[in-house]
Amino acid sequence: MTGDNDNPNMERENRILDAASSLVLHYGYDKTTVSDIAHEARVSKGAIYLHWKSKDELFQALIWREVWSYAETWISQLEAAPDGGSLFSMYKYSLAGLHAHPFMKALFTRDRRILGDFLTRQEAELIRQKFIMGKDFLRLMQQAGALREDADPDVVAYLMSSIAYGLVKVDEIVSPDEAPDFLRVIEETADMLDRAYGTPDEASQAAGKQIIRQVTEAAKMQFTPSQQSNHEKKKE
């Protein structure tokens, strides 16, 4: 499912994570046992403990993998997009990616059904996680001229977060048959934001894209897989 299957060890590791992902999405963290995962991945339970010290570390690894996969997806889509990465197409692709990565969505919405007890332990940590398009980012974008000059970047950042949260949470209160296609809606959202906060200036849009590239590069660095590698067992 995810690359780096060169090493046969890695292949198995990913197979286990795939199994975990599938089971956790269906049954939730609490109700998914290590034996279940082993069975689903067609390995022994012991094998799992050759890869991670505990169920918790396995889950942590899964989170890293999913976050990384999510980031990789939307950033590469953004880079390949015709508009090459304006502020609002960035918003659009990061949301679309959320839709395509149910696990990431569960993290974003702090879905207790799925994250179970893990959420209770890590909620504080998750709240500390900042939305990538936060105040600082929007301030930079405004300085670059990619955000309407007389808009308050702090408020707009908060508003954009709220909208994103609303878009992925609203299905709680709307019956599914009433909801239009999600991609259709985020297209509309990006268009709305562009009309309300975009600038016509071509040159400053280029500057904006520059900042986006910097930020996405930084994000990639932050999630570089080597850093979160699993064999810290030696440690103690």
Partner DNA sequence: GTATGACCAAAAATGCATATCTGGTCAAAT
Partner DNA sequence: ATTTGACCAGATATGCATTTTTGGTCATAC
Based on CB atoms, which residue is closest to a second copy, 76 or 129?
129
34 binds DNA (CB under 7 A): yes
Task: Please tell me the distance from the alpha carbon of residue 24 to that of residue 114, in angstroms, as a whole number.
Answer: 6
Contact residue for DNA among 3, 11, 26, 44 (CB under 7 A)? 44
233 binds DNA (CB under 7 A): no
Based on CB atoms, which residue is closest to DNA, 27 or 223?
27
Task: Please tell me the distance from the alpha carbon of residue 1 to that of residue 80, in angstroms, as a whole number.
Answer: 22
Out of a second copy, DNA, none, what residue 166 binds, judged by CB under 5 to 8 A for its kind, is: a second copy
121 binds a second copy (CB under 8 A): no
179 binds a second copy (CB under 8 A): yes
Q: Residue 180: exposed, middle, or buried by beta-carbon count in 10 A (0-12, 13-18, 19+)?
A: exposed
Q: How far is the CB of 5 from DNA (least distance, A)?
A: 14
159 binds a second copy (CB under 8 A): yes
Interface map 52-71 toward DNA (x if CB under 7 A): -xxxx---------------
Counting residues that bind DNA (by CB under 7 A) gives: 19
Contact residue for DNA among 10, 15, 18, 49 (CB under 7 A)? 49
**DSSP string covering the chain:** --S---SHHHHHHHHHHHHHHHHHHHH-TTT--HHHHHHHTTS-HHHHHHH-SSHHHHHHHHHHHHHHHHHHHHHHHHHHSTT---HHHHHHHHHHHHHH-HHHHHHHTT-HHHHHHHHHHHHHHHHHSPPTT-HHHHHHHHHTT-S-TTS-HHHHHHHHHHHHHHHHHGGGTS-GGGSPPHHHHHHHHHHHHHHHH----HHHHHHHHHHHHHHHHHHHHHT-GGGG-S--GGG-
Show contacts with a second copy in window 92-111 (CB under 8 A). 108, 110
Q: How far is the CB of 117 from DNA (least distance, A)?
A: 7
231 binds DNA (CB under 7 A): no
11 binds DNA (CB under 7 A): no
Based on CB atoms, which residue is closest to DNA, 26 or 45?
45
**Pick from 51, 71, 72, 70: which is nearest to 61 by CA?**
51
Contact set with DNA (CB under 7 A): 9, 12, 30-35, 43-47, 49-50, 53-56
Q: Which residues bind a second copy (CB under 8 A)?
A: 108, 110, 126-127, 152, 154-156, 158-159, 161-167, 169-170, 172-175, 178-180, 184-185, 188-189, 191-193, 195-197
